[in-house]
Amino acid sequence: MPVTVNPIKFGTDGWRGLIAADFTFERVTMLAPLAAKVLADNYGDAAGNNKIIVGYDRRFLAEEFALATAEATQAAGFDVLLSQSYAPTPAFSWAAMAERALGALVITASHNPPGYLGLKVKGAFGGSVSPEVTKQIEALLSRPQPSRKYSGSLQKFEPWSSYCEGLRKKVKIEAIQEAIAYGKLQIFADVMHGAAATGLNRLLGMEIEEINGDRDPLFGGGAPEPLPRHLSALFRKIRSAARNEADGLRVGFVFDGDSDRIAAVDGQGNFLSSQVLIPILIAHLAKRRKMTGEVVKTVSGSDIIPRLAELYGLPLHQTPIGYKYIADRMQTTQVLVGGEESGGIGYGNHIPERDALMSALYLLEAIVESGKDLGALYAQLQEKTNFNFAYDRLDLPLASMDVRGKLLARLQNEPMKTVAGKQVIDCLDIDGYKFRLADNSWLLIRFSGTEPVLRLYCEAPNLTEVRKTLTWAKNWANS
């Protein structure tokens, strides 16, 4: 049976595809110079040079694809800085800004399963380019491009040092180091075989217990996505430490494949998604650090976020899902924190990019300054805002993109009146379909931009209601 090759199309953050089917050397070397040209068209005047950063993660053939990307971009007349090692995607966004380059091309498939690779395009400002820019790249795919009369240069660079130095300056690093040294805080880091490996060690200058730190392109048979089903080793470590250590605080951090998404496990072994971490970060930055700015959430973000924004007198802005929308907002507005349900969190005093290691440092600072476990910090915020809802998400694989199309047509042509026996009050359709229900719970039905997957999100008064609603939505999709 022949393999279907999907067209090159940018999703919520970059283009991704199956290695050797969609994602091939031929297609990457054709696409990279076009992306570089669009970066030059959009940021050339501000950058004042012809420089492109090329980086990569730890996936299968990532170095080889990065080298091919660099050489094709160099042959098109650009001066290329090629990373000499893997590093987090935010490190390459940082390099684009620090080097005053046109932007960065990063070979990564982020949290996707092992068979995928991809190309993320970052702008000169240090963040994901806008949908308008990726549309310009797609538009060039069908147009023949004139050959260049000269080649640019190609040099290697070390991606970690400048990035880590920049992050350290944003937190009270000595206080965190002291808490670790005196046994007041124990840290575990599940880097999921990805690009965050060695990251906390480098930032803190201390040995942190790292889980899944080896390179494994198969990701232990799973995917490098910070979800509970992938974290059995981290749960065991935290719960074992909780039994054996009477004193001191514990925290586990989880980093996705290219270290732009984060989740955590508290000292009692409870999983904390970004729906919990974003509120903790808002409170820490606004209350303890006395920082201000707009809070930016995506349509899938928890309802506790607007309550906290109101509590601290912060403006709130809502976007479709995809960090590029938050990054775009950061370029025009003073933002305190912007975050998405899937783990991407960024800060207005940093590059306009989601950055998991930056988030880990701020969370460590919150633990040290409060003297409290992350779970306890969130419980305090729930009490302050009178918010006790639960949240979960279900990813439902679809048989094909044709099934996806049929479900989308049903959503468009057959408006839902009830969901799981509850009346639909309204529907927000800026990204997918978010149904607000009579008990103030909500269900969001949305399709993946890169895979035949239906994403179902729900927040309800308790976990039983969440599961009931998600089961209803799953049955609706399968019917």
Q: Which two tokens stand for residue 57?
A: 């993660």
Cα distances from 267 to residues 173, 318, 372, 377, in angstroms, run: 21, 32, 10, 12
Element (H, E) at 142: none
Strand arrangement, sheet containing 103-107: 15-18, 116-123, 103-107, 51-56, 79-83, 154-157
pLDDT in tens, the chain (479 residues): 455 688 899 987 899 999 999 999 999 999 999 999 999 999 998 888 999 999 999 999 999 999 999 999 999 999 999 999 999 999 999 999 999 999 999 999 999 999 999 999 999 999 999 889 999 999 999 887 777 778 899 999 999 999 999 999 999 999 999 999 999 999 999 999 999 999 999 999 999 999 999 999 999 999 999 999 999 999 999 998 887 765 689 999 999 999 999 999 999 999 999 999 999 999 999 999 999 999 999 999 999 999 999 999 999 999 998 888 898 899 999 999 999 998 999 999 999 999 999 999 999 999 999 999 999 999 999 999 999 999 999 999 988 878 888 898 999 998 899 999 999 999 999 999 999 999 999 999 998 766 788 999 999 999 999 999 999 999 999 98
Fold topology of 390-478: TATA-Binding Protein (3.30.310)
CA-CA-CA-CA torsion for 434, 435, 436, 438, nearest 10 degrees?
-170
User: Residue 257: what are its φ and ψ, rounded to 5°?
Assistant: -60, -35
Instruction: Give the pLDDT score at 1.
Output: 45
Cα distances from 260 to residues 13, 15, 23, 135, 450, in angstroms, run: 11, 16, 21, 23, 17
Report which of 93, 257, 58 is spatially closest to residue 167, judged by C-alpha positions.
93
Per-domain residue ranges of the chain: 15-159, 182-385, 390-478
Instruction: Give the pLDDT score at 401.
Output: 77
Are 79 and 51 contacting, i.e. CB atoms less than 8 angstroms apart?
A: yes
Are 106 and 58 contacting, i.e. CB atoms less than 8 angstroms apart?
A: no
Q: Identity (one letter) of the amino acid at 447? A: F
386 exposed, middle or buried (CB, 10 Å; 0-12, 13-18, 19+)? Answer: exposed
DSSP class of residue 285 equals I
Check for a shared fold between 15-159 and 390-478. no
Q: Which two tokens stand for residue 93?
A: 């966004």
Are 461 and 441 contacting, i.e. CB atoms less than 8 angstroms apart?
A: yes
Residues ≥6 apart with Cβ < 8 Å to 191:
197, 199, 210, 211, 212, 213, 255, 259
Report which of 40, 92, 87 is spatially closest to residue 62, judged by C-alpha positions.
87
Helix (H, G, I), strand (E, B) or coil at 290: coil
Are 65 and 56 contacting, i.e. CB atoms less than 8 angstroms apart?
A: yes
Q: Which two tokens stand for residue 42?
A: 């959009």
Report which of 324, 353, 322 is spatially closest to residue 337, judged by C-alpha positions.
353
Strand pairing class (116-123; 15-18):
antiparallel
DSSP class of residue 284 equals I
Instruction: Give the pLDDT score at 258.
Output: 97
| CATH class (in words) of the domain with range 182-385 | alpha beta
Instruction: Give the pLDDT score at 292.
Output: 97
Instruction: Give the pLDDT score at 449.
Output: 65
Identify the CATH number of the domain defined by range 15-159: 3.40.120.10
